[in-house]
Each structure stands twice: as C-alpha cells, then as structure tokens.
C-alpha cells in the first residue's frame, strides 16, 4: 500500500470517531451531507504531480503526516492575540482557535435584523435549514479531494448571511488561530458568505499560528454574491513555516455584482490556494489580486479560474510575487470565456521577481476563449530587482539591504494598495513592511 492510500485510509478511519464525537448530530439531515462527502472523498485519490492541476506542487510532505482533528483548544487570553489585532481597527473581530469559534476572544458585534454573522457550528444548532441550502453548493465535494475532506469533517467556520439591501459597514475580521502544541492537527474551517441583493460586506479571512507546530489548515470558503451586491474578500495567510495550507475559495457572481478578492500568502511551508469565480448573470465585475512572498524552502501555489459563462462581465486579475532563497511559487490563472459570453473584458497579469538564483516560479496563464466579441489580455513577467534603481537608492546613502527592501516593498505593495478599505490597507502595508524587514 502506498502513502496515498495509507493517508486516505487514515482519514476514512478517523471519520467514524469524528461522527461519534458529534453526539446527537449523527441523525440530522446536515450530517448526511458530511456522509456524502466522505463517500466522495473515498472515491477520489490524493493528487500527485502526474495530475495536471498539481503538476508543479508535490503534496507528499503533507501526506507524510497523520493529522488528527484537534481534541482540545488551548486556553487563550485576549493578550495572546495582541500581535494579530489591528490597532484602532474599525472592524468586528471573530476569532477561531483550532477551527472552533471562541466567543470569549471575539469582539461583541451587532448583527442587523435578518442577518447572520457568526459561527457555523452555532447556526447548525439553531437554523440548519439555511446552512443546508448553501453548504457544498459551490465547492462541491467531487470537485477535489481536499474539498471533500473539508466537507466530511466540517465542524465550524464563519457563516455570514446578509439579507437584501443591507450594508455591513464595518469589515469583519475573521482570525483563524492554530495552536496545536504537540498534536499534529488538521483544521477544516468551513466558511459560507451569502450576500443578498444590493447588500455589501467586507471580510478579512486570516490564518495565523501561535507556535511552530506542524499542522494542516484546509479551509473552504463559499461566497454567493447576489444581484448588485458588493463583496470584498481579503484572505491573508501568514502561518508558521511548519504549517501546511490548502485552501479553496469559490464565488458565484450574480447580475451587476462586484466581487474583489485579495489573496496574500507569506507563510507556511506549502500553500496551495484555489480560487474559482463564476459569472452567472450579466453586468458583474470581479477583481482577483494576489501577492505571494516566499523564502527558504517555501512553496506557494495559486490556482485561479475565472469563468465568464455569460456576456457583459469584466474581470481584472493581478498576481505578484517575490521569491527568495530556494523558494518556489506556482501561478496558474485560467480565464474561460464561454460560447456566447460576448462583450467580455478579461485582463490578467502575473509578475514575479526572483531575488535569488535558486528561487523558481512556474507561471501559466491560460486563456480559453470561445466567443468572438471580447477584450482579453494576459501577460506574465519574471525578472530581478532593477539594478539601476538599486544603484540610484544606494547612491543616496541607503544601504544595499535596505534599498532591496524598499524596492521589493514597492513591487509588492502594488497589490496591497488596490485594497479599497483604507484602515485595512494601512494595516497590511505595515505587516508587509515588517515581513520584509525580517
């Protein structure tokens, strides 16, 4: 038996114990969704580099470990979170520790009438019908083994439901903390965001570590953008260099809606983000921007798909990265313009700078266009820091190291500065500067 099947069997064997830990829930309709997911999981195999979608990303380092569901959550105090809090930050803070919502650590926030903002586990107890309506509808278990794994072991996550016409002014800061200690844990945060017609919501989904433990984060986020809604989604992954992170984000864009995704990865040993956006009605717009900063032996992989299934939509995508040491990155950006999706505008850019001779990027823009009246462009550049700029800065008395940092910051900040929420943009700029100063 090879490692792939061994690891698979490990999770299958763990499912029964998980089911039993759910007490009364076993008989509930929602649990049938988990059971369907574990079947789907059983029917799939962990990918190898022979699979086209995983050609450049070998997940063997993840499969080597037998990860377990967290048996306990560490007792954290608010002070423990200080380094992750945003000073003077006008946001409602929802904290998850080892995948479970912590009311104590979260801020008190007001939920407008008709809206739901809170723990998925809580929602499961109080109003499972609403959850069942949306769970696994976009990110289907059969679309990938990690999505199936997530659905089968779903316990908690963020559930956001914004009714028609409601505007949530304050950004929602979803802080996912893992502090595994000696246990090698897997956490499967399951996030669902439903934005009704004409509604607006801004979400920051962040993943961090409290220690240097080896663990595996496998989040899945499903986002429904109703007609004319405006949704901003920032995903920030700055976990420890021993963590593994495989995420899936799927969004569906209704007529006239506007979805922006900012996907920033600086942490973890191996990170794969899959983002899929589908236009299902005309007049919608989406922005997919991303930043990856890697060093040492890190591998950061971003796979994005934008599906122009209907006419008259616009997508803009900018992914930038800077790679140092022996790090590697993968960018695979697929844009599909389906037959009949006329008047589509789709622009995609990927820019990477290699800061060392041993860093490597595999970049692959894929445009699949089946309509004729469209405006599409894509481009990928790979380069080094500009020597003339470096010399110019140094000739002003700025040290070589600092000059490099300034230039990398300027390059990377191109992505961060597109974030529209000012307070968050400033916070991320600070984080970015701090990360580059290291």
DSSP string computed for 178-235: E--TTS-BEE--EEEEEE-TT-EEEEEEEEEESS----EE--EEEEEE-TT-EEEEEE
CB of 357 to another protein, least distance (A): 18
Residue appearing with tokens 């002070």: 79
Query: How far are the Cα atoms of 213, 265, 414 from residue 405, in angstroms, in the given order?
Result: 29, 18, 14
For another protein, give the closer residue by CB, 34 or 320: 320
- The residue ranges of DSSP E strands in 338-388, in sequence order, are 344-354, 360-369, 374-383
Residues 104, 97: Cα–Cα separation, whole Å: 11
Q: For another protein, which residue of 203, 409, 424, 436 counts as binding (CB under 8 A)?
A: 409
Q: For another protein, which residue of 111, 369, 393, 433 counts as binding (CB under 8 A)?
A: 393
Under the binding rule (CB under 8 A), the answer on residue 411 touching another protein is: yes
Q: For another protein, which residue of 371, 376, 382, 406 counts as binding (CB under 8 A)?
A: 406
Under the binding rule (CB under 8 A), the answer on residue 391 touching another protein is: yes
Under the binding rule (CB under 8 A), the answer on residue 427 touching another protein is: no
For another protein, give the closer residue by CB, 183 or 429: 429
CB of 262 to another protein, least distance (A): 17
CB of 414 to another protein, least distance (A): 6
Under the binding rule (CB under 8 A), the answer on residue 396 touching another protein is: yes
How many amino acids of this chain bind another protein (CB under 8 A)? 22
For another protein, give the closer residue by CB, 270 or 416: 416
Q: Are strands 92-97 and 100-102 parallel, antiparallel or unpaired?
A: antiparallel
Residues 371, 17: Cα–Cα separation, whole Å: 50
Please choose, out of 127-135, 349-357, 359-367, 393-401, the segment that lies near another protein by the rule CB under 8 A.
Answer: 393-401
Q: For another protein, which residue of 72, 167, 392, 430 counts as binding (CB under 8 A)?
A: 392
Query: How far are the Cα atoms of 58, 168, 253 from residue 287, in angstroms, in the given order?
Result: 29, 20, 12
Please choose, out of 167-175, 245-253, 312-320, 403-411, the segment that lies near another protein by the rule CB under 8 A.
Answer: 403-411
Strand order in the sheet with 314-323: 100-102, 92-97, 172-178, 200-209, 230-237, 258-265, 285-294, 314-323, 344-354, 374-383
For another protein, give the closer residue by CB, 87 or 387: 387
Under the binding rule (CB under 8 A), the answer on residue 407 touching another protein is: yes
Q: For another protein, which residue of 334, 378, 394, 435 counts as binding (CB under 8 A)?
A: 394
For another protein, give the closer residue by CB, 332 or 350: 350
Structural tokens at position 202:
């801004």
Residues 249, 247: Cα–Cα separation, whole Å: 7
Query: How far are the Cα atoms of 61, 175, 366, 417 from residue 205, in angstroms, in the given order?
Result: 25, 6, 27, 18
Q: For another protein, which residue of 399, 420, 430, 437 counts as binding (CB under 8 A)?
A: 399
Contact between 274 and 144 (Cβ < 8 Å): yes
Which of positions 241-270 make contact with another protein (CB under 8 A)? none
Contact between 245 and 220 (Cβ < 8 Å): no
CB of 363 to another protein, least distance (A): 21
Under the binding rule (CB under 8 A), the answer on residue 60 touching another protein is: no
Main-chain phi, psi angles of 91, to 5 degrees: -145, 155
Under the binding rule (CB under 8 A), the answer on residue 297 touching another protein is: no
Distance of CA 179 to the CA centre of its chain: 19
For another protein, give the closer residue by CB, 152 or 428: 428
Which of positions 370-389 make contact with another protein (CB under 8 A)? 387-389
For another protein, give the closer residue by CB, 167 or 400: 400
Under the binding rule (CB under 8 A), the answer on residue 414 touching another protein is: yes
Total Cβ atoms within 10 A of residue 385: 15
Let me know the angle formed at the C-alpha of 328 by 322 and 332, rounded to the nearest 5 degrees. 85
Q: For another protein, which residue of 400, 420, 430, 437 counts as binding (CB under 8 A)?
A: 400
Under the binding rule (CB under 8 A), the answer on residue 349 touching another protein is: no
In this structure, the chain runs to a length of 438
Contacts of 12 (CB under 8 A, 6+ apart): 38, 41, 42
Please choose, out of 120-128, 306-314, 337-345, 411-419, the segment that lies near another protein by the rule CB under 8 A.
Answer: 411-419
- The residue ranges of DSSP E strands in 299-357, in sequence order, are 299-308, 314-323, 328-337, 344-354
Residues that bind another protein (CB under 8 A): 387-389, 391-400, 402-403, 406-407, 409-411, 413-414
């Amino acid at each position: 038996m090879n490692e792939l099947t061994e690891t698979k069997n490990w999770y299958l064997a763990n499912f029964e114990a998980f089911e039993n830990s759910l007490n009364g829930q076993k008989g509930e309709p929602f649990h049938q969704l988990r059971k369907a997911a574990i079947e789907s999981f059983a029917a799939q195999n962990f990918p190898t580099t022979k699979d086209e979608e995983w050609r450049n990303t070998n997940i063997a380092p993840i499969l080597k470990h037998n990860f377990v569901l967290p048996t306990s959550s560490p007792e954290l105090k608010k002070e423990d979170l200080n380094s992750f809090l945003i000073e003077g930050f006008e946001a409602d803070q929802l904290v998850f520790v080892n995948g479970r919502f912590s009311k104590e650590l979260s801020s008190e926030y007001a939920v407008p009438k008709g809206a739901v903002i809170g723990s998925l586990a809580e929602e499961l107890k109080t109003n499972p019908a609403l959850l069942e309506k949306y769970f696994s509808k976009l990110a289907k278990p059969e679309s990938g083994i990690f999505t199936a794994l997530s659905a089968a072991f779903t316990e908690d996550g963020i559930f956001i439901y914004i009714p028609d016409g409601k505007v949530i002014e304050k950004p929602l800061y979803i802080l996912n903390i893992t502090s595994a200690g000696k246990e090698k844990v897997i956490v499967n945060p399951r996030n669902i965001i439903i934005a009704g017609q004409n509604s607006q919501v801004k979400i920051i989904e962040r993943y961090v570590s409290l220690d240097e433990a080896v663990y595996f984060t496998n989040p899945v986020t499903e986002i429904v953008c109703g007609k004319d809604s405006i949704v901003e989604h920032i995903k920030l992954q700055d976990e420890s260099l021993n963590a593994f992170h495989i995420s899936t984000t799927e969004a569906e864009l209704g007529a006239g809606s506007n979805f922006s995704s900012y996907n920033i990865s600086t942490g973890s040993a191996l990170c794969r983000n899959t983002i899929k956006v589908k236009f299902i009605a005309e007049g919608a717009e989406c922005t997919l921007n991303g930043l990856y900063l890697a060093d040492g032996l890190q591998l950061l992989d971003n796979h994005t798909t934008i599906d122009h299934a209907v006419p008259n939509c616009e997508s803009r995508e900018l992914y930038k990265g800077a790679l140092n040491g022996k790090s590697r990155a993968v960018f695979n950006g697929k844009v599909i313009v389906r037959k009949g999706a006329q008047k589509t505008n789709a622009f995609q850019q990927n820019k990477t700078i290699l800061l060392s001779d041993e860093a490597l990027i595999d970049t692959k823009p894929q445009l699949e266009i089946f309509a004729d009246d469209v405006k599409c462009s894509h481009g990928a550049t790979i380069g080094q820091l500009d020597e003339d700029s470096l010399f110019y800065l140094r000739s002003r008395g700025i040290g070589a190291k600092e000059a490099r940092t300034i230039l990398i910051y300027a390059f990377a900040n191109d992505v961060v500065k597109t974030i529209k929420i000012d307070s968050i943009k400033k916070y991320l700029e600070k984080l970015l500067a701090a990360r580059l100063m290291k």
